Amino acid sequence: MLDLTKMATFADYFVICSGETNRQIEAIREEIDQTLSRAGLRLLHQEGGTGSGWLLMDFGDVVVHIFEPGLRQYYGLDRFWENAVPLLRML
């Protein structure tokens, strides 16, 4: 989880994570959706799909990227936003 409040105007936080299988990516998506909904955030837009190896979930101030590991490395969002303040990091 990255704090973008001083770096971007389109979102305050990015969550970047990986799932090894389509089923795991879907489980991560469901849990994030439920958790953020309980916190009062509403899913505004979603792109990608479980079978695509990448999902984007836009909750307004929070944007979530769920990748399969190869696509996460390919797109390199972790490197692109390397100057953002990490709030939570789990590998």
Domains of the chain and CATH, by start = 2-82 (3.30.460.10)
Task: For residue range 24-76, list pLDDT tens digits in order.
Answer: 999 999 999 999 999 999 999 999 987 889 999 999 999 999 999 999 999 99
| AA letter at 83 | N
pTM, whole model, 2 decimals?
0.86
Give the Cβ contact number of residue 66 at 10 Å: 24
State the pLDDT confidence band at 91, using cuts at 50, 70 and 90: very low
54 backbone dihedrals φ, ψ, rounded to 5°:
-155, 135
Residues 82, 36: Cα–Cα separation, whole Å: 24
Both tokens of 41, joined, read: 């955030």
**∠ Cα 22 57 79 (to 5°):** 85
More confident residue, 41 or 91: 41
